Amino acid sequence: MVRARAEGPFCVDLGGFPLVRIHSPSASEYEHVDVQSFFVGADAAMARRLPFALLHDARDMPYVDEPRQARFLEELHRRRLLIGKYMRAYAAVVSSPRERGLITALGWSAHLPLPTRLFSTEAEASAFLFGRCAKPLVKAREREGRTGLMDRVVDHDHDHAPVNDHVAELASDA
């Protein structure tokens, strides 16, 4: 199969909050991932201002070239305080040595302030993440019920202008 030259977007599923799932639908069809859409998803989770854990389905993810790696690390850096405040753990599900190497390299470069692990199944990754969020889960669910927040799936287009304002707003509360 030949990959399209377009960037493939990420989608986030907040339906199981505080377990947040992020994936790139039809990832094997794209030559590159859309870095900004990854952060639109992460920002949607952080906007709840509650602890959460991120499960990233990285299976079939295309190679992330150096300019996109740099952009990814730059976006991580901009959100570092928020990530440290709200994200309790990160787990990626991978299916190849290339995916494992890519996620590991980005993790080392990012120096994330939270536990990160790679798994070959979603069940293993979920168990790890729930273990990291077990105590905050009860408080987060109670608070979420009082604030009336709703679960949703966020699909992304390529209009990311409001994201920068949203990150600034979140950062001001950190």
Is the residue at 170 inside a domain?
A: no
Is the residue at 125 inside a domain?
A: yes
CA–CA separation, 55 vs 105, rounded Å? 17
Q: What count of Cα atoms within 13 Å lies in the side-chain half-sphere of residue 63?
A: 6
Is the residue at 167 inside a domain?
A: no
Tell me: the pLDDT tens digits for 112-170? 888 999 999 999 999 999 888 765 444 444 554 543 333 434 443 333 333 344 444 55
Is the residue at 103 inside a domain?
A: yes
Query: Is the model more confident about 58 or about 171?
Result: 58
C-alpha 16: how far from its chain's center?
14
Is the residue at 96 inside a domain?
A: yes
Q: Which domain holds residue 146?
A: 4-161
Is the residue at 84 inside a domain?
A: yes
Which pTM value belongs to this model? 0.73
CA–CA separation, 13 vs 23, rounded Å? 9
Give the chain's end-to-end CA distance (angstroms, integer).
44
> Beta strand pairing status for 4-8 and 19-23?
unpaired
The count of domains in the chain is 1
CATH at 127: 3.30.750.24
Tell me: the pLDDT tens digits for 21-78? 998 776 667 677 788 888 988 999 999 999 999 999 999 888 788 998 999 999 999 9
Is the residue at 46 inside a domain?
A: yes
